[in-house]
Chain A
Amino acid sequence: MPGHIVRATVPITFAYKNRVGHALEQYINGLKEKKILGVKCPACKKVYVPPRTVCSKCHKPIDQMVEVGQEGVLKNFTTAHVNIVNGEITGVQQPYIIGLIKLPGASSLISGIIKTPSVHDVKTGMKVKAVWKETTQGDYNDLAYFEPA
């Protein structure tokens, strides 16, 4: 019978507190000091940024923290037109760029917001540098964005 659909509400709210882990903790603490840290595999010399605890190539535990450069090359990017807020898709006031950046000394790419005067100015291969929040507090957002170098 239309209009008589019975639904049951499930009175459960899921809450999770996922640990960032030993290596990421050091990375985030580094951001507070405006440093970008990676971890170097003593065997293959690969530098993972952000750091992790094992080299997937050599299967060796790795803990040698190294600081990498803050001026790198934009290797890839996308333009975000929506955000997800509490599971709902919402529009953004202005599209923004999320890039993948190769920093000097790093073997991997890290992602970051790219700010340019216009989104049309962004090109793969361009040089970008890290811009920090004035007051850092040990948070991912301490590294505010990357801008053209």
Chain B
Amino acid sequence: MKRNVAIISVGYNGRFVSKRPDINIPELIQPAVDNAIGKTKLKHDQIDAYVVGNMHTFEGINQPHLWASDHFGGSKKPVMRIATGGSTGASVYQAAYYHVASGLYDVVMAIGWEKHDEGDAQVGLMGILLPEAFSMFNFGPDMSEDRGIAGLGGGGSTGGAAFQAMSYLTKAHAGIEHIDRVAAMMRSNAAKNPYAHLQQPGCTEADIAKTPIISYPLRYGHTCPTSCGAIAMILVSEEKAKKFGITDRVAWVKGLGSGASDATTGNIIEGQITDPAEQYMCKVVSKKVYSMAGIKDPRKDIQVAEVYSGFSHQDLMWPERLGLVDEGKSPQMLDNGSFAIDGELPLNPSGGVTSTNAIGASAMVRVGEAALQVMGLAEGGHQVQRKIENVVAHGWGGLFQFVTVTVLGRTPVKK
């Protein structure tokens, strides 16, 4: 019988930035851990187990947990490391949840990080894209002289995402200006989040439109940065939350799930090239998660969304795939202000992944930001002011085809 689990604390190492040449990986993680613990009455010793993760290949350190365990307090404790690409942080969080929900542990810390300045993220991504390239051999693209790689991965992952963006725009009868507009909104939201990387107060559609095209319809201003940063969260059982006397300022985990479609940019399902903007698994998983959370109508019962968008067109696509907006209606929602922090469905009040992307942390930052919104503790003016009952957080990764969804709420699901 699974137990109710609450997130009681969310800690960051500080503002996420592009380069931290002064410190190494454990030194990046440690302040986030101390920050999360410092917000509670807990001591390091009271953490029963750790689940941690970052992106594989990006820093060239394949087992960073071996090195960092001592620094985050994992010495002589159970430590599990998870890497699922962009969704790593959410997978780490989900595993931490299982640790507690199963009854095996009462207090578990989840940590996600990336120190992007130590390796070449695009080279790292190409290493991840190669299985996709080899998979695409079966479907005929010419790979000689790097051409196939350029088509799929030109400009790193932007090349792959361009197909998805094009498909989305076509179906939604929207234009590149909508991507510019949503990108600008994220950068100005980020300016209200003291931990965000690219903070551009009052960023406009015109500011974004000035940036060069990488792979049409995606331009530089539509892509996420590479950030250095770490996030730590503490998850506890319902009993412990009561014991610590903190049940009024916690975020309850009400539902969660994950799913994978076939590799190749989500292009292929059951051996057929399909539509990379379909994101079928996101629809399947979110339905399952809402039912687990006791949510009948997500449009009514969910007040805020934190979605994982490595590219700005996805800020329009995901709310639809998550069942929060009718298919093809996101551009309209954007234009009428519904996605603004004071709108009907605030979308990424944090500024999202296109403003801040320490990749192994990013999907957990979505969950952490959802938790902060539920707790009412989002800092620097990005706290949503209207009453929040439930927030959905979404992660995206693997080979563009792995999705995680969770719903956090003010009250636990009744047993």
B is a partner of A: yes
Q: Could you list which residues of chain A lie within 8 angstroms of chain B, going by C-beta atoms?
A: 8, 10-24, 52-54, 56-57, 59, 61
Q: How far is the CA of A142 from the CA of B274 in the complex (A)?
A: 59
Note all chain A residues with C-beta closer than 8 A to B117: 17, 19
Contacts of A12 in B (CB 8 A): 123, 126-127
Nearest CB in chain A: distance from B234 CB, A: 14
Instruction: Determine whether the beta carbon of A19 is less than 8 Å from that of B20.
Output: yes
Closest 7 CB pairs of A and B: A21-B24, A16-B60, A56-B70, A59-B44, A56-B75, A16-B119, A19-B24
Query: Would you give the shortest CB distance from A120 to chain B, in whole angstroms?
Result: 35
From A20, which residue of chain B is reached at the shortest CB distance?
B24
Contacts A8-B134, A12-B126 hold; do A19 and B23 have CB atoms under 8 A apart? yes
Q: Among residues 105 to 140 in chain B, which have CB atoms less than 8 Å away from a CB atom of chain A?
A: 115, 117-120, 123-124, 126-127, 130, 134
Beta-carbon contact of A54 and B30 below 8 Å: yes
- Partner of A10 from the list B22, B45, B57, B130 (CB cut-off 8 Å) is B130
A14 / chain B contacts, CB cutoff of 8 Å? 57, 60, 119-120, 123-124, 127
Q: Which residues of B contact A21 (CB under 8 A)?
A: 23-24, 26-27
A53 touches B26 (CB 8 A): yes
Q: What would be 16 A-B contacts, judged by CB atoms less than 8 Å apart?
A: A8-B134, A14-B60, A14-B120, A14-B124, A15-B119, A16-B118, A17-B119, A18-B61, A19-B23, A19-B117, A21-B24, A22-B27, A53-B26, A56-B70, A59-B73, A61-B34
User: CB distance A53 to B27 under 8 Å?
Assistant: yes
Judge whether A18 and B24 touch: CB under 8 Å.
yes
Contact partners of A20 in chain B: CB under 8 A: 24
- Min CB–CB distance B156 → chain A (angstroms): 12
B84-117: CB near A (< 8 Å → 1, else 0) gives: 0000000000000000000000000000000101
Residues of A within 8 A of B75 (CB): 56-57
CB distance from A41 to the nearest CB of B (A): 12
Most chain-A CB neighbours within 10 Å: which of B30, B143, B146? B30
B residues apposed to A, CB below 8 Å: 20-27, 30, 34, 43-45, 57, 59-61, 70-71, 73, 75, 115, 117-120, 123-124, 126-127, 130, 134, 143, 146, 149
Q: Which residue of A lies closest to B21 (CB)?
A: A19
Shortest distance between the CB of A123 and any CB in chain B (Å):
31
Q: A10-B130, A14-B123, A16-B119 are in contact. Are A53 and B30 (CB under 8 A)?
A: yes
A19's nearest neighbour on chain B, judged by CB, is B24
Contact across chains for A22 and B118 when beta carbons are under 8 A apart: no
With both beta carbons as reference points, the residue of chain A lying nearest to B61 in the complex is identified as A18
CA distance A80 to B40 in the complex (A): 50
CA distance A56 to B70 in the complex (A): 5
Residues in B neighbouring A8, C-beta threshold 8 A: 134, 143
Name which residue of chain B comes closest to A11, CB basis.
B146
The CA of A16 and the CA of B23, in the complex, are separated in Å by 15
Bound CA span A8–B24, Å: 35
Q: Is the CB of B143 within 8 A of A17?
A: no
A residues less than 8 Å from B30 (CB atoms) = 53-54, 61
Compute how far the CA of A20 lies from the CA of B26 in the bound complex, rounded to whole angstroms.
10
